Structure 1
Amino acid sequence: MNVKLESSFFEKIKKLLLEAQQGVVKQVNSIMVSTYYEMGKQIVEQEQNGSEEAEYGSYILSELSQRLTSEFGKGYSKRNLELIRKFYLTYKNAKSPISQNLSWTHYIQLMRIGDEKERSYYQQQTEINHWSVRELDRQINSSLFQRIVFDEDNNKIKPPEDQGDSILNSPLQTIKDPYVLEFLNLEDRHSYSESQLEQAIIDKLENFLLELGKGFTFVGRQVRFTFDEEHFRIDLVFYNRLLRCFVLIDLKIGKLKHQDLGQMQMYVNYYDRFVKTQDEMPTIGIILCKDKKDTMVEITLPKDNKQIFASKYLLYLPKEEELKKLIQ
Structure 2
Amino acid sequence: MNELLIDIRDLILAARKTVVRSVDLIQVLTNFEIGRRIVEHEQQGNQRAEYGESTLKALAQALTAEFGKGFSLTNLKIMRKFYLTYRKSISQTEFDSLPRFEKSQTTSDFLQKSRIPFWRFVDEGKTQPLSSGFTLSWSHYVFLVGIKDVGERSFYEIEATDQGWSLRELKRQFNSGLYERLALSRDKEAVKKLASSGQTITRPEDLLKEPYVLEFLGLDEKAKYSESDLESAIIDKLEQFLLELGKGFLFEARQKRFTFDEEHFFVDLVFYNRLLRCYVLIDLKIGKLTHGDLGQMQMYVNYFDRYVKLADEQPTIGIVLCKKKHDALVEITLPKEANIHAREYRLYLPDKELLRRKLAEWGEDVEDEQNE
Q: What TM-score results when the alignment is normalised by the length of structure 2?
A: 0.80
**Superposed displacement of residue 134, structure 1:** 0.6
Unaligned runs of 5+ in 2: 92-129, 363-372
Aligned length: 319
Determine helix, strand or coil for the equivalent of 2:251: strand
Deviation at 1:60, TM superposition (A): 1.7
Cα distance, 1:268–1:151 mapped onto 2, change above 3 Å: closer
Task: For 1:323 and 1:283, locate their aligned partners in 2 and report how far apart those are by CA, in whole Å.
Answer: 30
CA distance in 1, matches of 2:180, 2:203: 18
Identity of aligned residues (%): 55
- Larger fraction in helix: 2
Check the 8 A contact 1:147/1:177 in 2, yes or no. Answer: yes
CA-CA distance at 1:314 after TM superposition: 0.4
Residues 197 and 227 of structure 1: CA distance in aligned 2, closer, same or farther (over 3 Å): same
Partner of 1:82: 77
Change (3 A) 1:326 1:289: farther
Q: How does 1:73-222 map to 2 (within 5 A)?
A: 73-94=68-89, 99-150=133-184, 155=188, 157-158=190-191, 159-160=193-194, 161-162=196-197, 168-222=201-255
Distance 1:187 1:322, change over 3 A: farther
2: CA distance, partners of 1:326 / 1:197: 28
Q: What is the letter of the counterpart of residue 307 of structure 2?
A: F
Alignment of 1:10-29 (within 5 A): 15-29=10-24
Cα deviation, residue 45, structure 1: 0.7
Asked if 2 retains the 8 angstrom alpha-carbon contact of 1:94 and 1:116, the reply is: no
1:245 to partner: Cα distance: 0.6
Distance in 1 between residues matched to 2:216 and 2:146, nearest whole Å = 23
The answer to whether 1:272 aligns with 2:305 is yes
SS at match of 2:190: coil
Structure-2 separation of matches of 1:71 and 1:13: 40
Task: Quote the Cα distance in structure 1 between the aligned partners of 2:16 and 2:90.
Answer: 32
Contact persistence 1:255–1:290 (CA under 8 A): yes
Q: CA deviation at 1:227?
A: 1.0
Shift of 1:172: 1.3
> Partner of 2:26: helix, strand, or coil?
helix
Partner residue, 2:46: 51
Distance 1:324 1:123 in 2: 19
Instruction: Name the SS of the counterpart of 1:157 in structure 2.
Output: helix
| Counterpart contact for 2:202–2:275, Cα < 8 Å | no
Q: What does the per-residue CA deviation read over 1:134-193, in whole Å, with 9 as the maximum and x for residues that have no partner?
A: 1111000001000011388x65732353268x7x22111111110000000000011000
Deviation (angstroms), 1:16: 4.3
Distance 2:17 2:4 in 1: 20
- 1:297 match: secondary structure: helix
Equivalents in 2 of 1:277, 1:11: separation in Å?
35
Deviation of residue 322 (structure 1)? 3.6
Q: 2:254, 2:267 within 8 Å by CA — same for their partners in 1? A: yes
> Match of 2:343?
311
Q: Equivalent residue for 2:112? A: none
Alignment RMSD: 2.3
CA distance in 2, matches of 1:163, 1:135: 16
For structure 1, the 5+ residue unaligned runs are: 1-5
